Amino acid sequence: MPALPKLPLQRQDMAVLMVVETLAEADSPAAVGERLLQSLQVLIADAAGGVLLQAGHGTATPLAAVGTAPALAARLAEALPARASALHCLSLDELDIDSSLRKALEAEGCRALLLLPLTVAGSCAGLALLLLPKAYRLAPTQKRVLTTAAAVAAQALTAALRQQALAARPTPGPAMPRRREPSGRTVDAVTGLTSGHQFRALLDMEVERARRYHESLSLLLIDIDAFRAFNDRYGHAEGDRALARLGEILRQELRKVDNACRYGGEEFAVLLPRCGAGAVERLAERLRRRIAAEVFTIAGQRAPLTVSIGAAVYPPGSPVERFIRSVDDALCRAKAGGRNRVVLA
């Protein structure tokens, strides 16, 4: 089997650092899983997707999936135990799975699975699975990086599971005041998209990937037109419903490799790997039309919403700050030009 290509130390450090940040930033087991899987996909660029299985009493439960359909994640949970003794990279032929699951994995471009157990003090809390296009032989240094990331994530996962169990216990007496959400959460509570606090880390990763593999990378900034007036007229509860619906639309329209973030109050950022100028302009226009055509109904009355979109393709070698400014400038021109339009930087 071919060995994994040697990864630059900076790239390895970045991936492990992302996992370390879960201890401070991820406030739920699912958030820990998503963060870990995103980190592993930075470390191993060949990975087509990932699943985190939570260990149970003889069963496994899919806790998080990145770049993998929920149905496929559920089938992997049924076929594979969440407990594993050591890091392995196995071809599908070496796994005890049925032919239908094998075909489903192959349809996703998967020919092997990287099995990474999350173990704390000898107890396995879960198992991370990475979908790979072929089986690899792991070098000792690569094993150390992966197991270090897994050990840190295992601690975060165990702590999050413990906190979740405590929160689920009934509390006697009057209801407690609502807990404030930590500023570093991974998933936005209103839209279900990636939190804006994660945007810069994700952008830095995608820029590094684009530079390393000489691939295109595009960015959209989407702003809801006159959203303050919408909130003033209909109330913040209806505003949150509209934001949640826009989150659903973005998930429906984007590819698995894309990443949509709630960038601010009524702003969204969308990272588009391997997407050039023509494709990003077509996508932005499709999103604009889809949102403009959406029927938002409040108290039986139509409440239309439109968006303005700024778009840009990352210029190779350009500073990241300049890239962000170029997209923001394009968005400002879209707003100044009459709103409900797309401007390409």
Per-residue pLDDT of 3-15, as tens digits, reads 665 544 445 556 5
Q: For residue 170, what is the DSSP state?
A: -
User: Cβ(30)–Cβ(70) under 8 Å?
Assistant: no
* CB neighbours of residue 311 within 10 Å: 27
At 123 the three-state DSSP class reads strand
User: Cβ(248)–Cβ(294) under 8 Å?
Assistant: no
Which pair of structure tokens corresponds to residue 148? 């270090």
Residue 16 pLDDT: 63
Domain chopping of the chain, boundaries:
9-168, 194-344
Name the one residue in this structure whose structure tokens are 């404030």. 180
Residue 64 phi, psi dihedral angles, 5° rounding: -155, 150
The topology (CATH level 3) of 194-344 is Alpha-Beta Plaits (3.30.70)
At 300 the three-state DSSP class reads coil
User: Cβ(125)–Cβ(157) under 8 Å?
Assistant: yes
The helix (run of H) or strand (run of E) holding residue 132 is strand 123-132
Give bridge partners of residue 272 from the DSSP assignment. Answer: 218
Q: Would you write out the chain's pLDDT as a tens digit for each of its 345 residues?
A: 566 655 444 455 565 666 665 555 556 788 778 878 877 777 777 788 889 888 765 567 888 888 888 888 888 888 876 666 688 888 998 888 888 899 999 988 899 999 998 887 777 788 899 999 888 888 888 788 888 888 888 887 887 777 777 666 554 444 433 333 334 457 888 999 988 888 888 898 899 889 888 899 999 999 999 998 998 899 989 999 999 999 999 999 998 889 999 988 899 999 999 999 999 999 999 999 999 999 888 888 889 999 999 999 999 989 999 999 999 999 999 999 999 999 999
Enter the pTM of the model.
0.51
- The yes or no reply on domain 9-168 and CATH 3.30.450.40 is yes
The residues near 2 (Cβ < 8 Å, ≥ 6 apart) are 134, 136, 137
Nearest alpha carbon to residue 117 among 53, 37, 45: 53
At 246 the three-state DSSP class reads helix
* CB neighbours of residue 235 within 10 Å: 12
Residue 239 phi, psi dihedral angles, 5° rounding: -60, -40
Q: What is the pLDDT of residues 54-83, one digit of tens each?
A: 876 556 788 888 888 888 888 888 887 666
SS3 sequence of 42-101: HHCCCCCEEEEEEECCCCEEEEEEECCCHHHHHHHHHHCCCCCCCCEEEEHHHCCCCHHH
Give bridge partners of residue 261 from the DSSP assignment. Answer: 194, 269
